[in-house]
């Protein structure tokens, strides 16, 4: 058979770059970082965004506690250094998905500004979209989908964000949702509108 050299195929032609994949997909890769209290609706909104984008033929990947804490970060606990390392790795995995043209939706409490800013800094401008999933603590605690607030109030879970550990709200998020006043679909549409405005997905 002919070799690459014989077919005059240059190395530049062989290596697939991010833009090649983005052209195939007809959308850009990006990290959409959902931050907020437990029970604020991060995963729910991310699920709706993924569904709506999927119906447009957009490639998404949801990373959350379920697939990260039990896998990649199963060696980490909840001490401050472990929380920082947890978010550092998640940010790096998000960057990888971005670099291969997938819109990655990351749903983690991620309570510290410094950790989120580090995740933003490792990506190019316009590749990182911070979504503040804002709900009053009382609303989030009332929802308590996993029963964690109850355990935190009982002292069974130490250092629980919002109860016994701080949550540092984003100062300039790309999107600021109010899930106590919006349905998940309305929230998801607001996120997608921002992705359109930033040229990450085509406007409809």
Active site residue 110: yes
Q: Closest Cα to residue 91, out of 74, 72, 70, 77?
A: 72
DSSP 155: T
Separation CA 191–CA 105 (nearest Å)? 11
Residue 131 and residue 177 in contact, taking contact as beta carbons nearer than 8 Å: yes
Pick from 50, 36, 27, 47: nearest CA to 98: 27
User: Using CB under 8 A, which of the segments 88-96, 141-149, 151-159, 167-175 binds a copy of itself?
Assistant: 88-96
Helix (H) or strand (E) holding 94: helix 80-99
Q: Based on CB atoms, which residue is closest to a copy of itself, 95 or 143?
A: 95
Nearer to a copy of itself, 50 or 177 (CB): 50
Residues 6 or more apart whose Cβ sits within 8 Å of residue 201: 27, 28, 53, 56, 58, 103, 192, 195
* 8-state DSSP, 61: E
Q: Does 15 bind a copy of itself (CB under 8 A)?
A: yes
Whichever of 70 and 154 has its CB closer to a copy of itself, that residue is 70
Binding status of residue 202 toward a copy of itself by CB under 8 A: no
Find the shortest distance in angstroms from Cβ 139 to a copy of itself.
Answer: 17
Q: Is 76 in the site for a copy of itself (CB under 8 A)?
A: no
Closer to a copy of itself by Cβ: residue 82 or 159: 82
Residue tagged active-site, from 110, 159, 164, 187: 110
Residue 145: which of 200, 196, 114, 184 has the closest Cα? 184
Distance CA 92, CA 148 (A): 28
Candidates 30, 32, 37, 61; binder of a copy of itself (CB under 8 A) is 61
With respect to a copy of itself, which residue has the nearer C-beta, 152 or 200?
Answer: 200
- Report, in Å, the least distance between residue 5 CB and a copy of itself: 9
Q: Indicate which residues carry an active-site annotation.
A: 110
The contact set with a copy of itself (CB under 8 A) reads 1-4, 13-16, 20-21, 24-25, 47-48, 50-51, 54, 57, 59-63, 67, 71-72, 75, 85, 89, 92-93, 95-97, 99-102, 122, 183-186
């Amino acid at each position: 058979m002919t070799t690459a050299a014989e077919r005059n195929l240059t190395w530049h032609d062989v290596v697939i770059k991010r833009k090649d994949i983005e052209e195939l997909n007809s959308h850009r890769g990006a990290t959409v970082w959902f931050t907020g209290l437990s029970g604020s609706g991060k995963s729910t909104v991310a699920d709706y965004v993924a569904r709506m984008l999927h119906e447009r033929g957009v490639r998404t990947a949801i990373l959350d506690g379920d697939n990260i804490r039990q896998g990649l970060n199963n060696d980490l606990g909840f001490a401050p250094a472990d929380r920082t390392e947890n978010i550092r790795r998640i940010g790096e995995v998000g960057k990888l998905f971005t670099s291969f043209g997938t819109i990655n939706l990351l749903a983690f409490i991620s309570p510290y500004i410094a950790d989120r800013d580090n995740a933003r800094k490792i990506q190019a401008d316009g590749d990182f979209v911070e979504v503040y999933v804002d709900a009053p603590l009382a609303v989030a605690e009332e929802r308590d989908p996993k029963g964690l607030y109850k355990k935190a109030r009982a002292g069974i879970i130490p250092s629980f964000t919002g109860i016994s550990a701080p949550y540092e709200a984003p100062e300039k998020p790309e999107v600021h949702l109010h899930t106590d006043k919006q349905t998940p679909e309305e929230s998801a549409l607001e996120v997608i509108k921002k992705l359109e405005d930033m040229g990450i997905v085509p406007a409809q």
